[in-house]
Amino acid sequence: MATSGQGRIMGDRVPFALDAAESLSWNLGAEVVDRKPECARLERGDGGSLTAFEATEHTVVVRVRTAVGREKFYGLTAAEFRRALDALPGAWSVAYEDV
């Protein structure tokens, strides 16, 4: 579970439990999202966004983008991502969903 530094900061920036996700390197995340179809997009009131991509039948790669353009990538199960959508915090709104 992410408990220090970047993990604490990103824990406030994503609508899913970080212990349910695998942090991906920027290079790997960027490569996957360039080749895979987008399956959901969420937006935050502060200008941040989250876009999910269908990596496999059971896995999504999530790109979290801050209001200033910083990106972080996570891999998690499609089922866990659906659960996160069902319990979406008020700071997030769904712009598009096909998961």
Asked whether residue 53 is assigned to any structural domain, the reply reads yes
Asked whether residue 12 is assigned to any structural domain, the reply reads yes
Asked whether residue 32 is assigned to any structural domain, the reply reads yes
Residue 7 has pLDDT above 70, yes or no: no
7-28 average pLDDT score? 77
Asked whether residue 55 is assigned to any structural domain, the reply reads yes
How many distinct structural domains can be found in the chain?
1
Domain that holds residue 46: 6-97
Q: Kindly report, residue by residue over 69-98, the tens digit of the pLDDT.
A: 999 999 999 999 999 888 888 888 999 888
At 62, list the tokens: 């999530």
Asked whether residue 1 is assigned to any structural domain, the reply reads no
Asked whether residue 38 is assigned to any structural domain, the reply reads yes
Q: Give the strand order in the sheet containing 38-44.
A: 22-24, 71-77, 59-65, 49-56, 38-44, 92-97
Q: Which residue has the tokens 């349910």?
A: 20
What is the distance between the alpha carbons of residues 56 and 30, in angstroms, rounded to a whole number?
16
Q: Kindly report, residue by residue over 32-61, the tens digit of the pLDDT.
A: 999 999 999 999 988 899 999 999 999 999
Write out the H or E segment, with its range, that includes residue 38. Answer: strand 38-44
What's the pLDDT score for residue 12? 62
Rounded mean pLDDT of the chain? 86
